[in-house]
Amino acid sequence: MKLIRLALRNLLRQKRRSILLGSAIAFGILFITLINGFTGSFIENVGENFSNLMAGHIFIDGVEKSSSGKDLYLIDDDSRIMDAIEKSGIEYNFLTKRSEIRGTLLFEGNGINQSIVGADWEKESYFKERIILKEGTFENLSDPHGIIVSSKIAERLNVQLGDHVIVKMQTYTGQQTAGDFTIAAISIDTGLFGSISCYANILYVNELLNIGPDKYLTLGIYLNNLIDTDPVTAKLLPELEKRINLFSRETTDDGNPFMAILEQQEEEEWDGVKYRLTTINDLLSEVEEIVRILNIAGLIIMLVLFAIIMVGITNTFRMVMFERIQEIGTMRAVGMHRSEVRALFLFEAFLLAIGGIISGYILSGITMFIISRVYWGVDTPLFMLLKNGYMTFRLAPLQIILNFVIVTILTLLAAFRPADKAAKLEPALALSTEK
């Protein structure tokens, strides 16, 4: 205890120097905490945004082989799927039934390859909360041929509200066809993925695909929470397996179930419809890889930063030792052990680290609070990483503890050599040394 008080007093004797060293440590902590905080919410935000974009967390679609071996996607009769959902007892927010066209939108010599999602917008009322319109209204979708395009698509096609566009596409079985749409509304472009799809009425989309009005391509299950995805899937799968022919989600090692399903689709032959169950987490596993890389990069940068800070700490403690050489000699002469001298220096380094780390965390908290209050808008390329236009941060307690331990050890290591050197000083030699 005496040593700790002594170490604290020594640090306070050279306030400016201690503050500078502590600030360097605090800066390092601020840097790594911001990265960890950002990546911590990265998965959650990307997952939620993808779920909104794709209208679900769990997706089921039916695949059958054409006579030429090509995969055709269609849910012809969903009664057994609905039964499985009901019997499994899973909780969900809502179900979405969607059909999709991939074709070329044409207007006065301009053409863009685009996906057009067809849904029953009366039933999918939540949709109106997810898409922000720049021009037009959702009521315009009452026109069976109405279509909502993003502002970027509207700009590239040079279309305005009420313009008629043609879509060149294929039917469900791959035959050529064309459809007519009227621009019902223009949505705000939400960055990278915002222009992926246009939105239209499912009845007309089905008519163009040449499938019945009550059929569709994908059933989406929108859950209450992203983190429910895996447990709900585990509950639903056995019930589905009892009722329909389902592709296996089993993978070797830690492979992606979606990739495993694609492989089965390529390799297997089957009669009738075989169903695929995929989840938002199958897609997010690729995003998780990005997060892992970001965290590793953050850790490497932190280690480089602390290598520089360590050099500063080592030099400062060598200087401190030289400044206090006679004091060390006196302490040793009055009976202080070598180990106590070493411990005194290391306590100083420890307290410095603690001060720097706590300051760093406080600074991080303030910075994150300020950044999370900034509204970045919905038309930013960062949109997929944001939560409703705001940047959010999430820190795992284990990550905080790990960074704490790493920085403390590094600071102690940096101070160890000067501390050891001070401990090994001969009292007589130390007392006779002139500064």
Partner 1 sequence: MHNIVNFLHIKKAVILITLLFSLALLPALSSDQYGKILEDIDNLQNFGDNDFTTIYTIVSEKPGEEREVLEVRLFRRDVGDLFLMIIISPEVQKGQGFLQLEDNLWFYDPESRKFEHSSAKENIQNSDAKNNDLMVQTLSEDYTVVSHEEGILGNVPVYILNLEAKNDEVPYPKMKLWVRQTPTLPMKSDEYGYSERLMRSSAYLNYVKVGEKYLPTRILMVDMLNVGEKTQITMTNPSIGPLPDYVFTKAYLEKVNK
Dihedrals φ, ψ of 185, to 5°?
-160, 160
CB of 158 to partner 1, least distance (A): 11
CB of 272 to partner 1, least distance (A): 17
Question: Is the Cβ of residue 208 or residue 336 nearer to partner 1 in the bound state?
Answer: 208
Question: Is the Cβ of residue 38 or residue 204 nearer to partner 1 in the bound state?
Answer: 204
User: What's the chain's Rg over C-alpha atoms?
Assistant: 32
Task: Give the footprint of partner 1 on this chain (CB under 8 A).
Answer: 66-71, 104, 106, 109-111, 166, 168, 170-171, 173-179, 208, 210, 266
CB of 104 to partner 1, least distance (A): 8
| Crossing angle of the two packed helices 229-243 and 280-323, in degrees rounded to 10 | 160
CB of 208 to partner 1, least distance (A): 7
CB of 31 to partner 1, least distance (A): 39
Distance CA 9, CA 5 (A): 6
Beta bridge partners of 60: 219, 277
Question: Is the Cβ of residue 72 or residue 133 nearer to partner 1 in the bound state?
Answer: 72
DSSP 266-297: HH---SS-EEEEEEHHHHHHHHHHHHHHHHHH
- Which residue type is seen at 98? R
Per-residue tokens: 46: 């990307």
Distance CA 76, CA 188 (A): 34
CB of 152 to partner 1, least distance (A): 16
Question: Is the Cβ of residue 110 or residue 225 nearer to partner 1 in the bound state?
Answer: 110
**Helix and strand element counts for the chain (H, E):** 13, 11
Question: Is the Cβ of residue 71 or residue 139 nearer to partner 1 in the bound state?
Answer: 71
CB of 108 to partner 1, least distance (A): 8
**CA torsion through residues 40, 42, 45, 47, sign:** negative
Contact present, 422 and 328 (Cβ < 8 Å):
yes
Per-residue tokens: 404: 């704490």
Question: Is the Cβ of residue 87 or residue 168 nearer to partner 1 in the bound state?
Answer: 168
Pairing label, strands 146-150, 176-187:
parallel
Question: Is the Cβ of residue 106 or residue 283 nearer to partner 1 in the bound state?
Answer: 106
CB of 105 to partner 1, least distance (A): 10
How far, rounded to the nearest angstrom, does the alpha carbon of residue 303 sit from its chain's CA centroid? 23
Question: Is the Cβ of residue 170 or residue 372 nearer to partner 1 in the bound state?
Answer: 170
